[in-house]
Structure 1
Amino acid sequence: MKFYENGDALTEPMGFFCSGVHCDVKGARNAKLDLGIIYSQKPCNGAGVFTTNDIQAAPVRYSKKLITESGSTFHAIVANSGNANACTGKQGELDTKKMASEVARHLNIHSKEVLVCSTGRIGVPLPMSRLTTGIRDASEDIKDECDGARAFQEAILTSDTCTKSCSAKIECSRGEITIGGVVKGAGMIEPNMATMLAFLTTDILAPSSTLQEILKDAVENSFNRITIDGDMSTNDTVLLLANGNSGIKLEEETDSVQREFADAVNAVCSCLARKCVTDGEKVSKFVKVKIKGAKDSKSALKVARCIANSLLVKTSWYGSDPNWGRVVDAAGYAKVGLSFEKITMFYNETPVLSKGTPLIENKANWKKIVSSDEFTITLDLNMGQSEGEIWSNDLSEEYVNFNKSE
């Protein structure tokens, strides 16, 4: 597998086109790109994973229904930033369908072949007159086969400071398979996804059921292992489209190629997930929280999440304070039956606790480690053989200032 950071990503698999335009979704009268389309002339099989929040935005419910319908194929995804179309009632549902039908009308496809995503502020109706104009312009760019991959990446951003993309290529006996991916997300990031939209394209041909299984596993091992602020959003969506333009059929390939394809999807999702954490709103540090010696994986992840979401822990990271007491306290309120006298802890490779005994002689090294931009905290609970890992970051004064008002 060959792996590439950044780049056009979504249009690197054969047969995909993208566009991104400005239609002033927020009414800010600036030049920000805020609506984009992904398109394949050849129909695609699709897979999707969505937010588990009880409150789900209209486009989430709409796309989720289409993905789960047997035999569904897709030609396009339309996505806007600046407005989540969440908690907008019946009008929000009508507006979602209108977005799909407008794309379908301009690209001469069926509206059920168009998936819809939105991200931005909750509880505000979409400015449909501006959106329909944007859809027209974005569709024209698609028909002109403009190279709009980078423009699409920009169009889906909200509080992100940069675009996030990557791709992977696999060689097999019949040629090359490409997987491209992009993501937006910088705040409201919590396991079971976030205020996050991720899109993957591939030119292999694979059944939707197979794609769904692979994507679900990849999301579980990537986007469901990150947290920025503990807030789960209403619009979280990961979509994968496969158009078969490479002429390679996954089911006809060897087991090793099939495993490599699944590994490549996992690698793309993991890379994108890390990019989300490192681009968290006004954060300065990337922290891995690793739990070993748990009685089961569920307990391991529960402990890791409690540590990674603790405001006291996150603010100590921001202050470069190696306050292991806060870490252990957060682990304790996961309530998995741990005993302090069994806990061994490390900052990177430097011991902090040895079965409950603080190794205070290492304090200077602890401080040096947590002062860096990236470090790992490892807790061995000595209760079993299971492990778990969550990626997180610090919490700064700038985060509060940034989010205190929209």
Structure 2
Amino acid sequence: MSSSITFKTDTEGVTDSEGFFASADSADIRGKGDERLDTGVLYSIAPCAAAGVFTKNAVKAAPVLDCERVLRAGGPVFGLVANSGNANACTGNQGISDSLSMLQTAESASGSPKGSFLVCSTGRIGDFLPMDKITPTVKSVASRALDGEKEGTKFSECILTSDTRKKTCTATFAVEGNTVTIGGAAKGAGMIQPNMATMLAFITTDIAAESTVLQDLLKESVKHSFNAITVDGDMSTNDTVLLLANGQSGVSLDETSMKRFQEALFQVCDCLADKIVADGERITKVVEILVAGAASDQDAESISRSIGNSLLVKTSWYGNDPNWGRLMEALGYANAQIDQYIIDISYDGVPALVGGDPVPENKPKWKKVVSKPRFTIRINMHQGDGNFRLRASDLTEDYVDFNKSE
């Protein structure tokens, strides 16, 4: 981490950036009458350049299609509206109409121009949104955001579904006496597998930048953060990462600020991605898989995903069993260039396989490592310069129990 960048977690997140405001409330979307926060609006006092990265699932939720449409238009963006408890996915023409109604209601209530708001939903798939509850709530929270509410924490809570805690962080750095801030909030715990996961991530910054530049930077950051995690191997219909920049810091994104901004943006994305894996549904372990020496980066990614998504591997982690043989079995079907007789594998630096030969005397040390809530597996393929890092989780009986019905 660069010494010129200040980084904090568990912050106000999206409202830490200058000129961004937010509010959230309960529309009782889940119908439980528990006043759980489920609807929020993020608003900027100045027009924003915007960028977004979305799910590659061929079945896209209506809000994803709306966000893609607004970003393609290329106009200024003033904010976004989001809800949890209902994904508005696989809801046909009614879902398209409801999504448009949500963003238009937020635009109107915040006094923003037509076509300047984005919309995101997350939650149960296949149910229609209760618009009779959502519309008045969106009007209320949009008005409060317009009035200058800085309810960043509430906003980060209103997007949660099976998450057990909010996920926020903030990075700042100085440029010629002015401070640039990047704040983020995310949700995600299950159906986590790129590209990207059942996840939403909202990132704000007060730097001035062009949308095309932001898009390139965001795509690169997402590639090595949100697109390098897995909990259960499922790809969602609603995955969205949005980046808004309103220029209120007085600093422009140029040659002077580019390197630090890019580093700070990645730190925010990487932190939020880590928080998502660490909050995976009923998991007990986070495992970092570092593949090096592959024939290509693509091979390295394929190997890491084969391991990180293997049910046999994930259940062995849960059982505190290092079982490096299961790693070898999984990487063997990765469709990568492999020579099993030269591979090295280690657990937190403790060798398990060296040049294809087991090191059984280290087994007590391997078991101690795998018993920890976090550990790193390093695999050197000795085939080239390709590398990839993947964060994965174990798989527990509680995950099955939690997901066997909704």
Name the TM tier (shorter chain): over 0.9
Following superposition of structure 1 onto structure 2, how do residues 7-406 of structure 1 map, counting pairs within 5 Å?
7-70=11-74, 72-251=75-254, 255-406=255-406
What is the deviation of 1:26?
Answer: 1.4
3-state SS of the aligned residue for 2:244? strand
What is the deviation of 1:174?
Answer: 4.4
Q: State the match for 1:5 in structure 2.
A: 9
Unaligned segments of structure 2, at least 5 residues: none
- Kindly provide the amino acid, as one letter, of the partner of residue 325 in structure 1: G
- For residues 93-150 of structure 1, what are the alpha-carbon distances to aligned partners after superposition, in whole Å with 9 as ceiling and x for unaligned? 1101100111112111123101000000111111101000110221232133223111
3-state SS of the aligned residue for 1:93? helix
What is the deviation of 1:337?
Answer: 3.0
- Kindly provide the amino acid, as one letter, of the partner of residue 303 in structure 1: I
3-state SS of the aligned residue for 1:48? strand
- Kindly provide the amino acid, as one letter, of the partner of residue 306 in structure 1: S
- Taking every aligned residue pair, what percent have the same amino acid on both sides? 47
- For residues 3-55 of structure 1, what are the alpha-carbon distances to aligned partners after superposition, in whole Å with 9 as ceiling and x for unaligned? 01111011111100011100011111111000001001211110000000000
3-state SS of the aligned residue for 1:10? helix
Question: What CA distance in whole angstroms lies between the structure 2 residues aligned with 1:257 and 1:15?
Answer: 20
Question: What CA distance in whole angstroms lies between the structure 1 residues aligned with 2:337 and 2:385?
Answer: 15
Question: What CA distance in whole angstroms lies between the structure 1 residues aligned with 2:87 and 2:28?
Answer: 14
What is the deviation of 1:257?
Answer: 2.0
- For residues 125-181 of structure 1, what are the alpha-carbon distances to aligned partners after superposition, in whole Å with 9 as ceiling and x for unaligned? 111010001102212321332231111011000000000000100111141100000
3-state SS of the aligned residue for 1:250? coil
- Kindly provide the amino acid, as one letter, of the partner of residue 34 in structure 2: N
Unaligned segments of structure 1, at least 5 residues: none
What is the deviation of 1:256?
Answer: 4.4
3-state SS of the aligned residue for 2:12? coil
CA RMSD of aligned residues (A): 0.9
Please give the TM-score of this superposition, normalised by the length of structure 2.
Answer: 0.98
3-state SS of the aligned residue for 1:398? helix
Question: What CA distance in whole angstroms lies between the structure 2 residues aligned with 1:248 and 1:290?
Answer: 36
Question: What CA distance in whole angstroms lies between the structure 2 residues aligned with 1:386 and 1:256?
Answer: 31
3-state SS of the aligned residue for 1:31? coil
